[in-house]
Amino acid sequence: MPEFSHINNDRAYMVDVTEKDDVHRLARAEGRIHLRPETLEAIRSGEVIKGNVLATARIAAILAVKQTSSLIPMCHPLPVGGVDVDFHDGDGFISAEVAVRTYGRTGVEMEALTGVSVALLTIWDMVKSAEKDEDGQYPETSIEGICVTEKRKS
């Protein structure tokens, strides 16, 4: 039977981590947003558009990493030590990668995943006028493949 460390007896709780050791920890997560070819082309060819879309998404992601324990109920507040957000231009999508470092008592994978999610949501918001069809719908836009690519302590 799998273990659910945030559930005890009959209820959810925030597990006590005060006995765990402060160690250096790193987590890396990634994900991608699929966009219309015209939108991707505009981002690729236009420095102004690209710069503004990705800078906005990067800063939103860094701020969101620091807010993770306010968003995810059982997540422990942690002294985030460093955050790096990078974007890549893929075939039909833009991918985001977020690395989070801390010196603390629990892992930072939820922080990295939250950063990736907010980076991709912000890209969506920044390009939404380009992605909507004539009925105001988003037939081609989607967020895919959010996963943890690395997690370690040292």
Active-site annotation, residues: 125
Q: Is residue 101 part of the contact set for its own copies (CB under 8 A)?
A: yes
Q: Is residue 125 part of the contact set for its own copies (CB under 8 A)?
A: yes
Q: Is residue 63 part of the contact set for its own copies (CB under 8 A)?
A: yes
Residue of 154, 151, 153, 138 whose CA lies nearest to 30? 151
CB of 105 to its own copies, least distance (A): 7
State the Cα–Cα distance between residues 30 and 72, nearest whole angstrom. Answer: 18
Site string for its own copies, 42-61 (x = CB under 8 A): x-----xx-xxx-xx-xxx-
Which residue, 95 or 102, has its beta carbon nearer to its own copies? 102
Q: Say which residue the tokens 């991707």 belong to.
A: 40
Query: Mapping DSSP to helix (H, G, I), strand (E, B) and coil, where does residue 93 land?
Result: strand
Contacts of 106 (CB under 8 A, 6+ apart): 17, 20, 25, 76, 78
Site string for its own copies, 2-21 (x = CB under 8 A): xxxxxxx-xxxxxxxxx---
- Token digits of residue 36: 């219309």
In the list 91, 92, 105, 134, the residue contacting its own copies (rule: CB under 8 A) is: 105
In the list 94, 96, 97, 104, the residue contacting its own copies (rule: CB under 8 A) is: 104
110 is known to lie in a ligand binding site:
yes
Q: Is residue 92 part of the contact set for its own copies (CB under 8 A)?
A: no
Q: What is the DSSP letter of 8?
A: E
Query: Mapping DSSP to helix (H, G, I), strand (E, B) and coil, where does residue 89 land?
Result: strand
Show binding-site residues: 74-76, 110-111
